[in-house]
Each structure stands twice: as C-alpha cells, then as structure tokens.
Amino acid sequence: MSDQSKLGDGTRCVHAGLPEPTPGEPFLPGPVFAAPYHLDPVLGPDATPNGYGRPDNPTRRRLETAIGELEGGDVLAFASGQAAITAVLLPLLRPGDTVLLPTDGYFPVRAFASETLAGLGVDVRFVPTAGPYPSFDGVRLILIETPANPGLDVCDVAGLAERAHAAGALLAVDNTTATPLGQRPLDLGADLVVASGTKALTGHSDLLLGYVASRSAELLEPIRGWRTTTGSVPGAFDAWLAHRSLATLDLRLARQSANAAAVAAALRARTDVTGVRWPGLPDDPAFPVASRQMRRFPGLVSFDLGNADRVARFLAASDLVFAATSFGGLHTTADRRAQWGDDVPAGFLRLSCGVEDTTDLIADLTAALDEAGER
C-alpha cells in the first residue's frame, strides 16, 4: 500500500496492522492461543520469532504494529493502561531520581508513585496539568496527561518537550483521553507515549489493554525486558479484539466528539449546572492550547451537579446515560469521580459520550436533569 501517513484517519484505522492479502485467508487472522510453540531441534528459539507465549505472540505483535502506525512509533502492548505506566516508571527510574507527575491525572498513578516509587527512594513531585511548571533541572522523567482525566485541562506538549530536553529530562505523555487520532505526542517531541487502550481506543467496553509507544529503541528495550520479566502481557483474544476494534476508531470518535459538543453547549445553557469543561468550547481554559495541538476533541465532558444526591437522581432518571467508570465506549456513561478518591467536588461528573443519536442524547440528558431538580 502507498505511504499510510498520506491517507485519511478512517483509511488508516481500517487497514492498520493487517497482513498482506492472501487468497483464502481472513482480512484479520484470528487469535493465536499458545503457551509453548514448536522449536527447531537444532537452532531452538533462533529459528522462529515464537518460542514462548509470554514474550512472543503473533496476534499481539500485529496489534502493536497497528497501534504503532497510528501513534507513529514502535509499540509494546500491556495487560492494562496501569501496567503500561508502571512499566515506564519502574525500569526508567532509580533511587535518587526525580519524577514529575500531574496532580489532576489518573488517581491510581499518583497513588502508585506516592506509595511505591517514593518507597524505593524516587523523589516524587506533582504539578497541575495546566501549570505553572517548575524548573526541570535535575528531573529524570516528566509524565503528563493531556487532556487530563477527569478535569480535562490541557498542556502544551511541544513546549514542555523542548524544556524537558534542554534540562536533560524525558517527557512521557498519557494519550488515553485524546487517542492517537486526537493528537500524536511523538510528533510533538515527546519521548514516550503511554495509554490505556481499554477506553476510547478500543471503545467497546469489553477488554483491558495498555501500551507504550516510542521512537527510541534505547528507551523501549528496558520496558520490553520489564514486560517479559513481570509477565504483564495482554492475552491473545484481548489483543485480537482490540485490533478488530481499531477499524471503527475514526467513526466512533467522530460521533462521540459531535455528541460532546452538543452536550457541552446544552449544559452551558442551564442555570442548574456549573463547572462545564470541554476543550472544544471556544471559551474553555484549555481551548487555546487544545485547538493548536489536537486534531479532534475528545468525547468527554465534565460538570458539577452540586452534590452526590442530585447526581444519583440524574442517573436514575436517565434512560441513555449509564452509571459506570472508565470511558470512551459506545454507550454514554457518567462517573461521579469523588467516589473513587479523586480530589473533586462531591457532585462532579465525568460524562463519556457514546455514539447514540445526538438528538436522542440531548433530549434524554435534558429530561433527566429536569427530573433531578435544582442543586
């Protein structure tokens, strides 16, 4: 096929990682389930890329190729997004190193850093996604999440990459919320991308997945070794499901983003809803950077209903919005993040827009808010 970088998002998603057409074979071969493989009696593992299922699986490699085409780098797949992030933090950091993490990013990452990394002698520091950022002198690794989950703040990846490299630091970007169709951090100067594929990337709410991407073999090698040693690999069927799901990524994101735009506008028009955030709103604090950096805006909207009781009434009254954690799926969901330990108000909601018809979603959302009453 011609240079895929010149093709549209939909075309790249549909064809990402597929093998060359072979008469009588499926477009995407089914998952290979294997722990051991046959070995050459003389050459052993040197004769084949497959020796043992933990480091070797052709289904997983095909998925990694597909995601790599979208992210623009080499990819290692992991059993979950958290497994991918810890596989970056643990092999690349040593006692005495300093790591900078977002105060408003994924809560389990902050907990892991505070409890595990700090216990190993790593100097753990935190900074809000929107800044201001301190000097990076003496910092080994900066991990940012943009747009941040759940507050949806955005930071300037290219600007931070330039500052990080000038100080001798590495920059890793959590690309979960944006997906590689929303932004490509490696193109913006990031050294590493980490992401949860559980969410919008695969989008069917039926698997756990994570990945690390980079253009540096030197950085990926210790991460690969960590994965092999710890065994934090995705199963063959999950890898196959994820690859199958990539084909519709462009279509899913288009509807989710359109729904988010409509939801954000509808919420902004109400007097009983506060704190509406969506990076695609022209007056959102994140918009100036997001509009330069991102190719499309995510399907997430955050807002505040005042208290937990009103959130419960809203969710009970809605026919289309499911109460669920995680995000990026086909169904619209809402998550009261305070119940998971996020430092947000009790009535704060992260709404993940699905692919329902926009008119139906707005009508249901409006009716449910009306029934839930005032703050």
State which of 246, 269, 284 marks the end of a domain: 246
Are both 279 and 148 inside the same structural domain?
Answer: no
Structural domain containing residue 267:
249-372
The CATH number assigned to the domain holding 195 equals 3.40.640.10
Are both 256 and 161 inside the same structural domain?
Answer: no
Give the Cα separation of 222 and 297 in Å (integer): 33
* 334: three-class secondary structure by DSSP: strand
State which of 219, 246, 273 marks the end of a domain: 246
Classify each residue of 225-238 as buried b or exposed e, where b means 16 or more C-beta atoms within 10 Å of its C-beta: ebbeebebbbbbeb
* Tokens representing residue 153 in the block: 């703040």
Are both 111 and 232 inside the same structural domain?
Answer: yes
Give the Cα separation of 52 and 35 in Å (integer): 6
Are both 191 and 318 inside the same structural domain?
Answer: no
Give the Cα separation of 77 and 90 in Å (integer): 16
Are both 239 and 253 inside the same structural domain?
Answer: no
The CATH number assigned to the domain holding 321 equals 3.90.1150.10
Task: Flag whether pLDDT at 235 surpasses 50.
Answer: yes
Model confidence at 1, in pLDDT bands (50, 70, 90)? Answer: very low
Are both 253 and 229 inside the same structural domain?
Answer: no
Q: Quickly count: other Cβ atoms within 10 Å of residue 18's Cβ.
A: 17
Per residue in 274-292, pLDDT (tens digit) is: 999 999 999 999 999 999 9
Q: Total structural domains in the chain?
A: 2
Task: Flag whether pLDDT at 375 surpasses 80.
Answer: no
Mean pLDDT of 241-257: 98
Are both 151 and 22 inside the same structural domain?
Answer: yes
Give the residue from 125, 171, 131 showing the smallest Cα distance to 148. 131
Task: Flag whether pLDDT at 250 surpasses 50.
Answer: yes
Partners of 270 in the β-ladder? none
Are both 296 and 150 inside the same structural domain?
Answer: no
Are both 145 and 224 inside the same structural domain?
Answer: yes
Task: Flag whether pLDDT at 2 surpasses 90.
Answer: no
Please give the pLDDT value at position 374.
Answer: 72
Per residue in 325-344, pLDDT (tens digit) is: 999 999 999 999 999 988 89
Burial class (CB in 10 A: 0-12, 13-18, 19+), 361: buried
Per residue in 14-73, pLDDT (tens digit) is: 999 999 999 999 999 999 999 999 999 999 888 999 999 999 999 999 999 999 999 999
